[in-house]
Structure formats: C-alpha cells, structure tokens
Amino acid sequence: MNVPLLGYEPINGWYHPGKEKQFRGWFGIVTGTVISIDRVVKSFGTFTALHEVSLDIADNEFFTLLGPSGCGKTTLLRCIAGFEPVSGGQIRLHGEDIAPLPPFKRPVNTVFQHYALFPHMTVLENVMFGLQRLGWSVVDAEGRAKQALELVHLSQFLKRRPGQLSGGQQQRVALARALAPEPKVLLLDEPLSALDLKLRQAVRMELKQIQRETGIAFVFVTHDQEEALTMSDRIAVMSDGHVQQIGTPREIYEAPANRFVADFIGETNLIEVPVLGIEGGMAEVSLPGGRALRCPTPLTGPVGQGVLSLRPERIDLCAPGEADLVVTATDQVYLGTDIQLKATLAGGQELTIRLQNALATRLPEAGTQVGLKLEAGAARLLAA
C-alpha cells in the first residue's frame, strides 16, 4: 500500500495556512509540460469522438477545454482520467505514457460535474478517502484533509454528510477531495454548471486563486465561453472531436483561427466577401458597397472568397459619407450596459452592432440609413 504510484509521492506540507506556497509562475510562463496529449483517438463504435487530438498542458497552468456539447471535451477529460480507454495515441504524464493505466493508478484527480461525493461518508472521510488509498495513516490523512478543507473554507463542516450541505459547499468538498492527494493534474468537468449564477461568478475567481496557490495544473472543461475567458491561462476550443485552436483568451477572442472559433467565442457578424489579395498576414477585401478594407487574417494562399468576422463592439456609427458599410437600422435591444442595434445590409444580411450605453448615444430610428465605421481590430478574414 505504501508503494508510490508511478514514482509519485504526495508531499507533506503542501499547504500551510499563513505560509503561502512558493510562487511558481504567472499566466503564460511555462515551466514544463505536465501532460502531453499525443494524437489521441477515441471511437465509440462507428462514431469517432476524438480525431487525433494533440495538445500540451504546462505545469501550473489553468487550461480550459471549451466547446459546445458533443464536441469531445468531456471525452478527452475522461480519457486523461482513465475512465475511457483511448482507441489510439498516447497520453504522456511527465513523459510517461499513462494511457494503458487504470484510473486508480494515475496521479490525476477529478472534480465531477455533479460532485459524486460519497453519501455515506462525512465530509472529512470523503476528503481522506484518496489519501488512505495511497497508504497514508489515518492521522496524516486527517491532517492533510483538514488542510484541504481549510483551503476551500469548509473547516466547520467536517462531520457533516454531503446531503446536509448546499450545492456550493458540496462543490468545495469535491474540490478539496480532489486536491488533497496533490495530483499532478486536476481535472474539472463543468464543476460550476450546477451552481446558480451569483455563486458561479464568485467560485470562478476562487478556483483561479486556488489554482495559483497550489500550483497544480488545472484542466477545466466548460461550454461557457465567459467562464473560459475569465479563468484560463490558455484555452483549447474544440468542435466535432477536433481541436480548432489553442491560445490565450485574448488570442482566441481577437485572433480566431477559423469561422467556428470566431462564431463560438463571443458574438460576431460573419459576412461573405471577395478577397482581393493576401500578403504577410494581412488581407485586402472588398466590402459590400464597394469599399476596400485591409484586415488581419490567418490565411496565406490566394483565395477568391472569404468570410469576414466583424466584432459587434468594434463597430461604430458615423455619417454615411465616410462609412465602410451602409446599413438600414431595423431594431434595438436594451442590454443595460450596452445597446444592441440590429441592421441589414443592402443584400438583406443582418448585422449586429453593440454600442456603449452612454448618455450621448444617439440611436437611429428603425428604417433609417446608417453609416458604419469599422474600428481597428473589428474585422478579421477567415476561410469561407
């Protein structure tokens, strides 16, 4: 029982209240790769859930797998945890392939979507469970479990059973239970989805803080782009079993690699345009109405037709004379901080524009012609 798994030994004194763990890095500063997903394939019968997915996750990084339901993000997480055997490829943990190992031999812990707390055990017993399986003595396990519960501010509930706790508290127990054995990687499967909005927002920041304090790499699965953007060091956007793009929240939002990413992250307007030329990451396109526009693009080769992504918050109103686009206003939606303006192009295509709700904001009446100015960074040309 005392044999460490994979040469991995939980280190005592992982967290002492009042004595912060040694600072190990900021946002993107990478100290090494902890998990390397190498061309992982997962099939269920004839359905392929993961198509040769490859990505590297760095030490003490908050890494998010983001995508719509059915994109394979949870499957990938379950492959890392070992609940699903992979159909091909390697999952390397510090260089060692763990894909053939059963879940109980992987130094990886999971926070489950619905927590999966053991209902017949107290909070303390739940958190001690993993430590005792690793061969810790009751005294040591209890000490560590109490530290972990302190970290999530649940010290007063040691003797309660999970059924006597609120959803938010159960979520913290699940987090403490998964953190206590000090895994190399902590996997989180949409852990906030069962909480209500206010609580979710509070827990986000706390999770991020705990991740920094412990220095454990977090792999966080979510379909909520706001969650992903606010918490992550890096995000992998997935759809249909493929990784569409990996990057920092800013890269993903400002420089989407393709149409799917642009559409899935934030709001955008997608309009088809003829491409005049591409050179050195910049494209020249012809806007509806005839004006030419230079904008960044991930494309290289010569393409005839492309999709222009226009972020609604980077479009402004102006006089029709100096406008990039001329549209007809159709509708407006009041959003509090913003006002959303709906308009149509001459071709009938709908556009959405977001205007800050300032006192000076003048909204055009429905049916009137409006000029639109594209600010820097508003447009990006993507493959059709």
Partner 1 sequence: MAAMAPGGASSSEIYKGNAPRLLLPTWVVIGVFLLVPVALMAIYSFLTKEFRGGVIWEFTLAAYDQFFLDRGLFGDEPPSIEWTYITIFWRSIWQAGLATVLCLLIGFPTAWFIATRDARMRTVWLLVVTVPYWVNLLIRTVSMKFLIRDEGPLNAFLLWTGVIDQPLGLINTNLAVQLGLFYSYLPFMVLPIYAAVERYDFALSEAAADLYADRWTILRLVILPVVKPGLVAGCILVFVPSLGAFLAPDLLGGAKSFMIGSLIEEQFKGAAGNWPFGAAAAMILMTIVMIVLLVYARSQTREAAA
User: Which residues make up the interface to partner 1 (CB under 8 A)?
Assistant: 5, 81-83, 102-105, 108-110, 112, 114, 116-120, 129-130, 133-134, 177-178, 181
Minimum distance, C-beta of residue 48 to partner 1, in the bound complex (Å): 22
Q: With respect to partner 1, which residue has the nearer C-beta, 122 or 332?
A: 122
Minimum distance, C-beta of residue 292 to partner 1, in the bound complex (Å): 56
Q: With respect to partner 1, which residue has the nearer C-beta, 27 or 118?
A: 118
Residue 46, both tokens:
């004839």
In angstroms, the CA 47 to CA 49 distance is 6
Minimum distance, C-beta of residue 154 to partner 1, in the bound complex (Å): 18
Q: With respect to partner 1, which residue has the nearer C-beta, 162 or 247?
A: 162
With a CB cutoff of 8 Å and minimum separation 6, the contacts of 181 are 10, 107, 109, 130, 131, 134
| Orientation angle between helical segments 138-151 and 123-133, nearest 10 degrees | 120
Minimum distance, C-beta of residue 238 to partner 1, in the bound complex (Å): 22
Dihedral angle of Cα 53, 57, 61, 63, to the nearest 10 degrees: 0
Residue 182, both tokens:
């000090």
Minimum distance, C-beta of residue 121 to partner 1, in the bound complex (Å): 8
Minimum distance, C-beta of residue 5 to partner 1, in the bound complex (Å): 7
In angstroms, the CA 78 to CA 106 distance is 12
Cβ-contact 296, 281 below 8 angstroms: yes
Minimum distance, C-beta of residue 192 to partner 1, in the bound complex (Å): 17
E strands, the chain, in order: 33-44, 47-58, 62-66, 88-93, 96-97, 108-111, 185-189, 217-222, 234-239, 242-247, 269-279, 282-286, 292-296, 305-310, 315-318, 325-334, 338-344, 350-356, 369-374, 379-383
Rg, the chain, Cα only: 25
Residue 301, both tokens:
């080769």
Q: With respect to partner 1, which residue has the nearer C-beta, 114 or 342?
A: 114
Minimum distance, C-beta of residue 174 to partner 1, in the bound complex (Å): 8
Q: With respect to partner 1, which residue has the nearer C-beta, 63 or 129?
A: 129
Among candidate residues 144, 90, 105, 85, the one with its CA nearest the CA of residue 8: 105
Q: With respect to partner 1, which residue has the nearer C-beta, 32 or 119?
A: 119
Q: With respect to partner 1, which residue has the nearer C-beta, 129 or 264?
A: 129
- The CA-based angle 115-218-79, given to 5 degrees, is 70
Residue with tokens 């030419």: 292
Residue 30, both tokens:
């990478």
Minimum distance, C-beta of residue 23 to partner 1, in the bound complex (Å): 29
Residue with tokens 């958190």: 127
Cβ neighbours of 206 (radius 10 Å): 14
Q: With respect to partner 1, which residue has the nearer C-beta, 121 or 363?
A: 121
Q: With respect to partner 1, which residue has the nearer C-beta, 130 or 312?
A: 130
